[in-house]
Structure 1
Amino acid sequence: MNTTIILTGIILTIIAGAIVIYNLLVKRRQLVNNGWADIDVQLKRRADLIPSIVTTVQGYARHERQLFEDIAEKRSAALAAGDDPAARGARESELSRPVARMIAVAEDYPELKASQNFLDLQNELSQTEDKIEMARRFYNGAVRELNTLVESFPVNIAAGPFGFSKRDYFEIDTADRAVPSIAETRA
């Protein structure tokens, strides 16, 4: 009788522990998914802004055709990268380079720099870049927490069978952000 009670207690403790671990893993995974959704929204917003900026700059700098084609190609590749953080980060970094060059080219056209439309678009792009950075920090923090949990004992024993695994961080080179500083554009 005592053995049955002890065995039942051990089994119930193991089941309760598994439930707690599973729910903790689900919570962390949802935070990661939420963080990725925030990044995705901001990256799409950025991708939607880029054609407007290109159109505005094109009116002044028609001879920069290769740059505009490069931006269009890199933008398509970034949008096609999907939900793989490593691939998306690499494509977004590649897109940021020609966009930064385009903003720098705009510095050579005083009438473009004075255009309210261009200034508004540049400001909106800068704000979007800041939002991407905040969303990236949230996402990477959530990934760090999930990865730590998935690798920690005793959770690591249950994580695999429950279908939980480590997630990739999302990185975009901050040196490649689309809006260069004033010092960069004059160099």
Structure 2
Amino acid sequence: MGFMKASLILFVSLCLISCAPAKTSYFGETSFVGVTISGEEISFATLAKEHIALNVYSPDCVPCWKEIPALNLLHSEIQKKFPEKVIYMVVDPYQIVPDVTDELPFGQVYQLAKERMNVEIKNRNIQVPIVFMKKPFRVKEGGLVTGTPETLLFETKPLRLYYNFLGSISELTTKEAIEKDPKFNFFRYQFGMESI
């Protein structure tokens, strides 16, 4: 009797494991596409990376400015030590360009947003690659991203959001201080850059 019960439990367990649902996209992230400053289109679902971080930025967001040193530090470390990962600073061009409507074509809004972000790059020493997101990505009330700063962490194959980091990663300014910041280290842990 004990053998049959154990066999049945093993059989049911194996069925449940093999019948578990596959990882899926929940927020339409597989359709996220953007354009770099140089004009290259990026489809995040097809990037040959294991993990992708999208830091949502706005030139009108003071905490966004304050976290740039931490983002630059992360970007540098990722480039040197984690080739399977990537971080981008993304903007919703319809959100950062004053007085544009949704009816204006992406190409026109992209040009205006690019001009604005070129000033940001120069004035704020942004070293993280910038991507101008196409619809359906939007920073808006009721959407996936409702404000800035916010950093979305994705795993790939398929592209799937697994963590949404609200607020600044760190607003400290020196490398030494940033590296000791618990929020910064929590981000690194969530992004698979270290274990706690």
TM-score interval (norm. to shorter)? 0.3 to 0.5
TM score, norm. by length of structure 1: 0.35
> Which of structures 1 and 2 has the larger relative contact order (alpha carbons within 8 angstroms, sep 6+)?
1
Greater Cα radius of gyration, structure 1 or 2: 1
Which structure has the highest helix share of the two? 1
